[in-house]
């Protein structure tokens, strides 16, 4: 997006301008990708402040990531100046956790409540499942968590859940009749621990506004204008919050694209778009049809894809931009070759077009696909960055230090306690912790009180160790109260013994971990010195990082890197060149997700999101074999490839496997490679191994060797590749065709 300057209204087309100028009353813009919806929101806010003298403090703008909020804020700042800092802008979770902190006492929480992340929630559920003596193979913690999460997102409390026979019946049919009991215990334990999980942030905001009219009134008065980006991905809980807040003034503007709704699996509901029309009959609906982001080819391909979905609001998207190049289809024999071909294509495009690394993004369906791509990029010296995956704050050493900090802030934080109580080892085992938790429950006391009275519950060494631990935590608590966040954190890292333990580990990993903890301390220093948040307390810092989404924590100084991320995280972003990799059946569309037509349509919308991130050039790639879950699998090209109008796509000969059968691009070839659900070749091959078949030692296998495989039959080795400890051979089998096999697994007889 170009910089906003004084003449911002000239940078809008007529319907965009209309949406910016009409600031009173409800407005909805449901329009295609790249049509300037986010731009409209940004300019609208600038306009409200500049022309209508609206106090930024009374504008609430909800975005998909905090990063998007930061970028919008920066742009608005160029028009209205530093005043823009006071805008209420961020994700639903971050904005409402701020409000919950301010109003926590109304719900019986302290303002320093802890936010449990998914790991905390899962391990708490594990404890509960064990506590009730249930089988954790039946009650899998992440399945149970999903069930609880979806109940909360539909605003179903545990009381309603337990009293509604429909849920019990459903759970009984699923073989999990005890779900209600687990849900109840989970909520009560979170409450006891002064903790809220992610879903609670929305659930409890709804409770707050439902039960405390005075509080609701206060925020209804404060937020004179409410705006929501990516509206199609709001769930009912989020929808009701905005509806309540806007109920008095009705100045609400939502923008989104039903074709990009990709979170139905987490409870997002396109129905909200339809509800909106009902809830606001006086609604001003704005249509945006011109795409400013992408070439004609890309827009055409995207339209041809989304047209295959039955459930969508029909709308047209067109662009004035040039034709652009055709989409390049890259075919690889294996996932590692896919990585190499993608890296080579980036390398060449950079040279030819003088692009920076940052002009490229690689998008995939699941995080696990990144490994082969990373290896290839590293070999080509192309700097990349994975967004998402295991983020900085998810690393063990960081979570350990944060565990101490969390417990110093909130001594009821059971999950933090369990993490740190025996770290570094001080002779306090799981069973001692369990005894303390039970003692606390039986005496209706909180965990901290039980710890403080450990000598009545435990004996011998464990009791002494717990008493020493309590003394240590008391000193940390004091540090958190008396010192600034940075000094307190440094004190805790040092005196907990964690820093020393890492320092003493002289392995490369140990050094890395030590540096990561130093980096965490740097981050806290930065927060103290530079954060926009007025509250510089340790608990404010914890809250800020608890809500960082995948796309956020960009600590890298050098910003020139190829971005790698899942398609889900790429929503709302744009890049000059985009690679959509792993275009294979079972991977994309994902095998796990397509049990119904609705699910397939959601996968297709995800594909639409991926395509529409590209401005100039789009590449798609697939591999014929791929390691998945530790096994080499034969893959079929994704059915989505055959759904792209063939006028928009061509096979890239240069960056396709030499083994690919087609020399020239022809329509029929694309159709042929993309036929959905072809039987994998190897299933058709029936080979009876020779009577004297005995696997040979393959350590000396060479290119050109003739071999026999018990299933694929006879073939010739065409290449050998060493990858770390693994050695792979590509073998051209007479009947089964080209296969890449991992030699440590493949049974081969050298002839
Ligand atoms: N009137 C305009 N003139 C020139 N460029 C524009 C105009 N409107 C939008 N753009 C540019 O088009 C691109 C897409 O805009 P924006 O990101 O706001 O679209 P969007 O509808 O929010 O897309 P998505 O659905 O992917 O979130 C941006 O680079 C933006 O700056
Ligand atoms: Mg947008």
User: What is the rounded CA–CA span in Å between residue 30 and residue 317?
Assistant: 12
Of 78-82, 450-454, 589-593, the one with minimum mean pLDDT is: 589-593
Give the pLDDT of residue 683. Answer: 39
Q: Which atom of ligand 1 is nearest to the CA of 572?
A: 27
pLDDT of 667 higher than 50? no
Tens of pLDDT, residues 114-144: 999 988 999 999 999 999 999 999 999 999 9
User: What is the rounded CA–CA span in Å between residue 567 and residue 451?
Assistant: 46
- Between these two residues, 527 and 469, which has the higher pLDDT value? 469
Reply yes or no: is the peptide bond before residue 424 cis, omega within 30 of 0.
yes
Kindly write down the DSSP assignment for every residue of 99-129, as one continuous string: HHHHHGGGGT--TTPEEE-HHHHHHHHHHHH
Place of tokens 């609206």: 54
Within 8 A by CB and 6+ apart from 659, the residues are 333, 718, 730, 732, 738
Give the pLDDT of residue 633. Answer: 87
Tens of pLDDT, residues 381-391: 999 988 876 66
Structure tokens at 704: 């050109």
Tens of pLDDT, residues 550-593: 455 555 567 899 999 999 989 999 999 999 999 999 999 988 76
Q: Is 38 annotated as a binding residue?
A: yes
Q: Which atom of ligand 1 is nearest to the CA of 573?
A: 26
User: What is the rounded CA–CA span in Å between residue 436 and residue 413?
Assistant: 14
Q: Using CA positions, which residue lies closest to atom 16 of ligand 1?
A: 36
Q: Is 34 annotated as a binding residue?
A: yes
Q: Quick one: average pLDDT of 510-532?
A: 84
Q: What b/e string do you get for 635-668 counting C-beta neighbours within 10 Å, with b at 16 or more? A: bbbbbbbebbebebbbbbeebbbebbeeeeeeee
Handedness of CA 559, 562, 566, 571 (dihedral sign): positive
721, 702 Cβ separation under 8 angstroms: no
Q: Which atom of ligand 1 is nearest to the CA of 257?
A: 25
Task: Kindly give the distance from the C-alpha atom of residue 186 to the centroid of ligand 2, in angstroms, as a whole number.
Answer: 36
Q: Quick one: average pLDDT of 159-170?
A: 93
pLDDT of 670 higher than 80? no
Q: Quick one: average pLDDT of 658-669?
A: 40
Tens of pLDDT, residues 209-228: 999 999 999 999 999 999 99
Task: Kindly give the distance from the C-alpha atom of residue 614 to the centroid of ligand 1, in angstroms, as a whole number.
Answer: 12
Name, of 348-352, 376-380, 688-692, the range with top average pLDDT. 348-352
Q: Report which of 51, 80, 92 is spatially closest to residue 203, judged by C-alpha positions.
A: 92
Q: Quick one: average pLDDT of 42-53?
A: 95
Q: Using CA positions, which residue lies closest to atom 13 of ligand 1?
A: 293
**C-alpha of 69 from chain center:** 17
- Between these two residues, 106 and 484, which has the higher pLDDT value? 106
User: What is the rounded CA–CA span in Å between residue 6 and residue 673?
Assistant: 52
- The preferred substitution site among 7, 16, 36 for testing ligand 1, maximizing ligand atoms within 8 Å of CB, is 36
* Band (544; pLDDT cuts 50, 70, 90): confident
- Between these two residues, 66 and 575, which has the higher pLDDT value? 575
Q: Using CA positions, which residue lies closest to atom 8 of ligand 1?
A: 36
- The preferred substitution site among 9, 31, 293, 551 for testing ligand 1, maximizing ligand atoms within 8 Å of CB, is 293
Ion ligand 2: residues, CB < 5 A: 37-38, 572
Tens of pLDDT, residues 391-412: 678 788 999 999 999 999 999 9
User: What is the rounded CA–CA span in Å between residue 738 and residue 635?
Assistant: 13
Q: Using CA positions, which residue lies closest to atom 12 of ligand 1?
A: 292
What are the φ and ψ backbone dihedral angles of 377, each rounded to 5 degrees?
-65, -40
Give the pLDDT of residue 649. Answer: 92
Q: Quick one: average pLDDT of 311-338?
A: 91
**Count of residues for the chain?**
751
| Residue 520 parent element (H or E) | helix 508-530
Give the pLDDT of residue 135. Answer: 95
Q: Using CA positions, which residue lies closest to atom 27 of ligand 1?
A: 572
Q: Is 36 annotated as a binding residue?
A: yes
User: What is the rounded CA–CA span in Å between residue 39 and residue 19?
Assistant: 11
Q: What mean pLDDT is reported for the chain?
A: 88
Q: Report which of 537, 493, 538 is spatially closest to residue 517, judged by C-alpha positions.
A: 493
Q: Using CA positions, which residue lies closest to atom 28 of ligand 1?
A: 1
- The preferred substitution site among 292, 575, 605, 610 for testing ligand 1, maximizing ligand atoms within 8 Å of CB, is 292
Give the pLDDT of residue 210. Answer: 97
Q: What is the pTM of this model?
A: 0.79
- Between these two residues, 438 and 296, which has the higher pLDDT value? 296
pLDDT of 684 higher than 50? no
Q: Label each residue of 244-277 as H, E or C.
A: HHCCCCCCEEEEECHHHCCCHHHCECCHHHHHHH
User: What is the rounded CA–CA span in Å between residue 111 and residue 538?
Assistant: 12
Question: Could you list the active site residues?
Answer: 37-38, 229-230, 260, 613
Q: Quick one: average pLDDT of 427-445?
A: 87
| pLDDT above 90 coverage of the chain, percent | 60
User: What is the rounded CA–CA span in Å between residue 384 and residue 378?
Assistant: 8
Q: Using CA positions, which residue lies closest to atom 30 of ligand 1?
A: 1
Task: Kindly give the distance from the C-alpha atom of residue 41 to the centroid of ligand 2, in angstroms, as a whole number.
Answer: 9
Give the pLDDT of residue 678. Answer: 32
User: What is the rounded CA–CA span in Å between residue 437 and residue 447?
Assistant: 6
Pocket residues: Cβ below 6 A from ligand 1: 1-2, 11-13, 16, 33-39, 257, 260, 292-293, 572, 574, 612
pLDDT of 5 higher than 60? no
Q: Which atom of ligand 1 is nearest to the CA of 613?
A: 26
Tens of pLDDT, residues 224-259: 999 999 999 999 999 999 999 999 999 999 999 999
Q: Which atom of ligand 1 is nearest to the CA of 292?
A: 12
User: What is the rounded CA–CA span in Å between residue 595 and residue 587?
Assistant: 14
Q: Is 172 annotated as a binding residue?
A: no
* Band (545; pLDDT cuts 50, 70, 90): confident
Of 1-5, 456-460, 572-576, 617-621, the one with minimum mean pLDDT is: 1-5
Count the neighbouring beta carbons within 10 Å of the beta carbon of residue 14: 7
- The preferred substitution site among 34, 287, 608 for testing ligand 1, maximizing ligand atoms within 8 Å of CB, is 34
Give the pLDDT of residue 724. Answer: 56
């Amino acid at each position: 997006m170009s910089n906003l300057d004084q003449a911002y209204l000239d940078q809008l087309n007529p319907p965009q301008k209309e949406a910016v100028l009409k600031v009173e009353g409800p407005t909805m813009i449901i329009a295609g990708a790249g049509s300037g919806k986010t731009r409209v929101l940004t300019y609208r806010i600038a306009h409200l402040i500049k022309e209508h003298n609206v106090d930024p403090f009374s504008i609430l703008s909800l975005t998909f990531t905090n990063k998007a909020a930061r970028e919008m804020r920066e742009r608005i700042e160029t028009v209205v100046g530093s005043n823009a800092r006071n805008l209420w802008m961020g994700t639903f979770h971050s904005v409402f956790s701020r409000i919950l902190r301010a109003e926590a006492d109304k719900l019986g929480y302290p303002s320093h409540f802890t936010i449990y992340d998914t790991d905390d929630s899962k391990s708490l559920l594990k404890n509960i499942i064990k506590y009730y003596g249930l089988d954790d193979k039946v009650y899998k913690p992440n399945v149970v968590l999903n069930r609880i999460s979806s109940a909360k997102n539909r605003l179903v409390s545990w009381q309603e859940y337990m009293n509604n026979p429909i849920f019990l019946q459903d759970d009984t049919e699923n073989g999990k009749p005890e779900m209600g009991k687990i849900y109840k215990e989970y909520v009560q334990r979170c409450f006891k621990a002064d903790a809220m999980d992610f879903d609670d942030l929305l659930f409890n905001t709804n409770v707050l506004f439902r039960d405390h009219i005075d509080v609701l009134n206060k925020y209804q008065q404060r937020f004179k204008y409410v705006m929501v980006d990516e509206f199609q991905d709001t769930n009912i809980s989020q929808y009701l919050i905005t509806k309540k807040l806007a109920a008095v003034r009705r100045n609400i503007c939502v923008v989104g694209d039903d074709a990009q709704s990709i979170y139905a699996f987490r409870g997002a509901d396109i129905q909200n778009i339809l509800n909106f029309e009902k809830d606001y009959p006086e609604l001003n609906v704005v249509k945006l049809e011109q795409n400013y982001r992408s070439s004609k080819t890309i827009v055409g391909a995207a339209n041809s894809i989304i047209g295959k979905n039955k459930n969508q609001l029909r709308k047209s998207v067109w662009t004035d931009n040039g034709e652009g190049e055709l989409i390049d289809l890259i075919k690889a024999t294996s996932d590692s070759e896919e990585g190499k071909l993608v890296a080579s294509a980036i390398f060449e495009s950079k040279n030819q077009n003088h692009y920076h690394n940052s002009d490229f993004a690689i998008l995939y369906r699941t995080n696990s696909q990144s490994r082969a791509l990373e290896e290839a990029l590293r070999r080509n010296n192309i700097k990349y960055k994975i967004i998402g995956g295991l983020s900085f704050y998810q690393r063990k050493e960081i979570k350990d230090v944060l565990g101490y900090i969390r417990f110093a802030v909130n001594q009821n934080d059971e999950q933090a306690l369990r993490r740190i109580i025996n770290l570094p080892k001080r002779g306090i085992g799981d069973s001692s912790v369990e005894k303390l938790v039970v003692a606390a429950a039986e005496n209706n006391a909180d965990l901290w009180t039980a710890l403080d009275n450990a000598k009545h519950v435990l004996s011998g060494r464990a009791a002494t160790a717990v008493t020493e631990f309590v003394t240590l935590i008391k000193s940390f608590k004091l540090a958190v109260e008396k010192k600034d966040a940075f000094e307190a954190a440094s004190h805790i890292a040092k005196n907990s013994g964690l820093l020393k333990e890492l320092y003493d580990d002289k392995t490369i990993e140990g050094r890395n971990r030590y540096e990561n903890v130093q980096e965490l301390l740097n981050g806290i220093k930065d927060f103290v010195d530079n954060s926009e948040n007025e509250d510089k307390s340790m608990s404010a810092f914890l809250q800020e990082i608890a809500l960082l989404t995948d796309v956020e924590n960009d600590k890298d100084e050098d910003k020139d890197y190829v971005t790698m991320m899942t398609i889900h995280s790429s929503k709302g972003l744009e890049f000059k060149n985009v690679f959509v990799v792993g275009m294979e059946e079972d991977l994309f569309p994902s095998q796990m997700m397509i049990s119904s037509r609705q699910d397939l349509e959601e996968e297709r919308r995800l594909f639409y999101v991926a395509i529409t991130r590209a401005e100039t050039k789009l590449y798609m790639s697939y591999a014929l074999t791929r390691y998945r879950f530790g096994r080499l699998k034969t893959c079929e090209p994704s059915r989505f490839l055959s759904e792209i109008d063939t006028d928009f796509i061509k096979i890239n000969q240069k960056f396709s496997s030499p083994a690919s059968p087609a020399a020239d691009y022809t329509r029929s070839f694309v159709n042929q490679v993309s036929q959905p659900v072809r039987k994998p070749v190897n299933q058709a091959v029936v080979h009876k191994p020779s009577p004297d078949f005995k696997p040979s030692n393959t350590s000396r296998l060479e290119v050109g060797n003739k071999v026999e495989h018990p299933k694929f039959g006879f073939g010739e080795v065409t290449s050998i590749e060493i990858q770390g400890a693994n050695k792979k051979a590509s073998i051209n089998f007479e009947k089964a065709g080209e296969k890449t096999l991992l030699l440590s697994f493949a049974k081969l007889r050298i002839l």
